Structures are given as C-alpha cells and as structure tokens.
Structure 1
C-alpha cells in the first residue's frame, strides 16, 4: 500500500473515532433528557391522582359531617317533641287525678246526705226486741259541727293532692271520733289516701275495716272493690277473685258489684 493510501485510511479512522467520541455524549444526553421528561410527567400524574383522591376524601368527610349535623339536629327536634309530649301527658294525668278526686268528694257529699244520723244496724235492733230497756253507757258529748269541720278539712287536703297530710288527718279523725257518723267515711278516705300514695297494704287494711266494721254503710261495697284492686296490683289474683266474689254475694245490686262482674269476666 502506498503512502497516500495509508494516509487516507488513517484519516478515516480519525474521523470515525472523533465521531464516536463526540456522538456518544449526545446520544446519552438525549436518552437522559427523555428519561427526565418521563419522570416529570409521572410525578405530575401521581400528584394529580393524590390531589383527586384527597379531594374525594375531603368531600366524603364533609358529607359525613353534614349528615352527622343533620342527625344531631333531628335528635334534638325529636327530644324536644318527646319532652313536649311528656309535659302534656303529665298535665293531663294531673288534671285527671284532680277530676277524679273532685268526683270522689262530690260523691262523698251525696252519700252523706243518704246516711242515717244514728248508726244502728238492723241486727242490733232485732236483738233488743223483747228485752227491758237498759240505760246506755254515757259517752262523751260530741259536737257534730266540729266533727264536720274536721272531716271537711281532711277531705280538702285530699282534694288538694296533699296525700300524706290527708292520710294523717283522716287517721286522726277516726281515732278521735270512733263513734261519729262520719268515721266510716273517714276510714274509707284513709284507704284512698294510702292507695294514692302507692301503699296498697295499708290501703287494704283501711278498706277491709270499713267493710267489716260498717257492713251496712254505703261505702262498704266500694271499699271491697278497692281491696280487690289493691290485691290485683300486688299480683295476688286469687285473693282478688275471692274479694270480688264476696262483694257480689253481699252487695249484688250495688254499683261496685257491676264493676266486679266486669272484672271477673276478664
């Protein structure tokens, strides 16, 4: 090979080497530039996804807060409504109790007009027939007007729903005036006062005394009916039935007997 040919080959080789030396950095730079561009786009995409998810979570949280606030408001309104119903029912119950007490007092006044002024049973009169008169034992002089005032005072306490005071007043009356014509009624109202105080045992004792000691008194049938009511509330159904049967046997034509028949049918 001539010298000219070797110089040409050498020149081409130098050109190739230079091309490789200067071309490779450009190629690598282009690749790195493309990779950097790709990384930026991926980062922006991820940021966008995170932003979307965050906004969705915030929206869900906000909706939950609104729903919770609505539920709290609804509960407040329901509580207010129920409170109003309770207050209304309490007022109606108090009014009904007051009307019932007024009814009892009015009934008591009517029955007192029918009661005899002299408490003497038919059995006692028949036992005295044919015997020589015997001087009755002397008793303390009573004051009917004072007894009536004392009885009315106790009854007014019951009417005013002062039940403890009424019970004490009626009990005091029965002890102070055991022979008064008003004593059976006072004993009856003593039982009602105990019943209103939710003391059924004392109410039963008081009403039983009315029925046993004053069987001919107009309040005796109602006293037996009240005994049965208390026995039912004490879950003593057997005793209640026996009391109602006794009521029907002794006072079949009384108003209390009508109520007793209805209860026995249930």
Structure 2
C-alpha cells in the first residue's frame, strides 16, 4: 500500500504544479496585456499632446506672420504718410516764398534814429543758398542738406528765410534718425523764431522726436503747447488729432 500512496502523492503534486504553471502563464499574459494597454494609452496621450503642441506652434507661427505683415503694412503707411507730409511742406514752402517780398534797396532806414541801419543782404544770394540746401533735401541728401541749412542760418540769421532754414535743418537731422539734434534745431524755431509760421510745425516735429525717444509725456506736452500757443494753426488741428490717439 505504501508504494501506491507515494505514487498518488507524486501524481497529485504534479497536477498542482501543472495547474500552477497554467495559472502563472495566464497571469503573465494578463499582466503583459495590461501593460501593453497602459503603454498604448500613454503613447496615445503623448502623441495627442505632441499634436496639440504642434498645432499651437503652427497657430503661433501663423499669428506671428500675420502680425509681421501688419507691422510691415503699418510701417509702409507711416513712411508714406511722412513722405506725403514732407512733400506737402516742401510744396507749401515753395508757394509761400513766391509771395514774400524781399527787402528792397541796399540799406534800410531806421525811422526812430533817422540814420541808415544795418545794410540789407543780397536777397538773390540768400534765395540761391536756401534753394541749394532745399534741393539737397528733396534729393534725399540729408547730410548735405543739414550742412547747407546750418550754413544758411549762420550766414543769414536775420533773413526772412532763416526760420524756414532752421526748420528744415531740424527735418534734415530727423531724416538721419538723429532726434537729439533735430529737437535742438526745432527748439530754436520755437524760441528765436516763435512768431514765424514754422514755429507750430516745429513743435509737432519736436513731439514726434520725443515720442520716438520714449518720452510720451514730453511729446504730449509739446502737442498741448501747439494748441495753446497757435490754436488756429493747421498744426494745432494735427496736434488735436494726435492727442485723441494717446
């Protein structure tokens, strides 16, 4: 009987081991399947996140391109507006000078003193020098124009064209992107030639430079000065429009 029992025990042990082996294989397969499902889920999430990120980047690229296009358009419109304004002032300058009456004679009489005052300059030479500098400006030769206008105001400080020359001197510096010198030149128009027709425009030019130099407070104050001092001047209307946009 003992051998039979031993054989039975061995068979039973083998069956248990076989069942355990089958169970272990199924459990391993289940775990592998679960791991694969989890891995695929994580992969899907990562893939979706990458697609979302790529989509966001693409939208940002498109937005940047759109904004760059708008900036280029605005820059073009700004430069066009500046060119139109410059051409307008040049044309106006030419038209106004046609109505100016140059001083006549070689000397001016001082009624109070009854004696001859300082001899008048040569109007033809003044006009020639002024026109030469203005032509340089029209041709886009701003460095040469600045030199020409600077020499003019030094040589003819009392000329009727001096305020205009000083004003265009400031514009010549501004055209060279030198706002500091532009403001210095235009400030002389607003002080030494404060009663001239160019003074209101000089204040506008100063305001433009102040804005570009990062001084919006100064730019606003200059616009307010134009309105306060020259309320009926065309420059005052421009100042009011600019203040509305601030």
With the shorter chain as reference, the TM-score category is: 0.7 to 0.9
User: In the alignment, what sits opposite 2:153?
Assistant: 174
Counterparts in 2 of 1:57 and 1:262: CA distance versus 1, 3 Å: closer
Q: Does 1:205 align with 2:192?
A: no
User: In the alignment, what sits opposite 1:17?
Assistant: 2
Distance 2:133 2:59 in 1: 49
Q: Does 1:255 align with 2:233?
A: yes
Which structure 1 residue ranges, 4+ long, deviate > 6 Å from structure 2? 237-240
**1:208 and 1:224 in contact (8 A); partners too:** no
**2:204 and 2:235 in contact (8 A); partners too:** no
Distance 2:70 2:18 in 1: 78
Q: Does 1:46 align with 2:31?
A: yes
Q: 2:81 aligns with which of 96, 104, 110?
A: 96
**1:244 and 1:260 in contact (8 A); partners too:** no
Q: CA deviation at 1:119?
A: 7.8
Distance 2:68 2:40 in 1: 42
Once the two structures are superposed, the pairs formed by residues 89-168 of structure 1 within 5 Å of their partners are 89-118=74-103, 128=111, 132=114, 134-135=115-116, 142=122, 144=124, 146-168=125-147
RMSD over equivalenced CA pairs, Å: 3.7
Distance 1:261 1:39 in 2: 89
Q: 1:57 aligns with which of 17, 20, 42?
A: 42
Give structure 1 stretches of 5+ with no counterpart: 1-15, 249-253
Q: CA deviation at 1:225?
A: 5.6
Counterparts in 2 of 1:92 and 1:227: CA distance versus 1, 3 Å: closer
Pairs aligned (count): 230
**2:102 and 2:123 in contact (8 A); partners too:** no
Q: CA deviation at 1:35?
A: 0.8
Distance 1:100 1:257 in 2: 12
TM-score normalised by the chain length of structure 2: 0.74
Distance 2:73 2:96 in 1: 34
User: In the alignment, what sits opposite 1:27?
Assistant: 12
- What SS does the aligned partner of 1:118 have? coil
Distance 1:239 1:143 in 2: 34
Distance 1:238 1:94 in 2: 24
TM-score normalised by the chain length of structure 1: 0.69
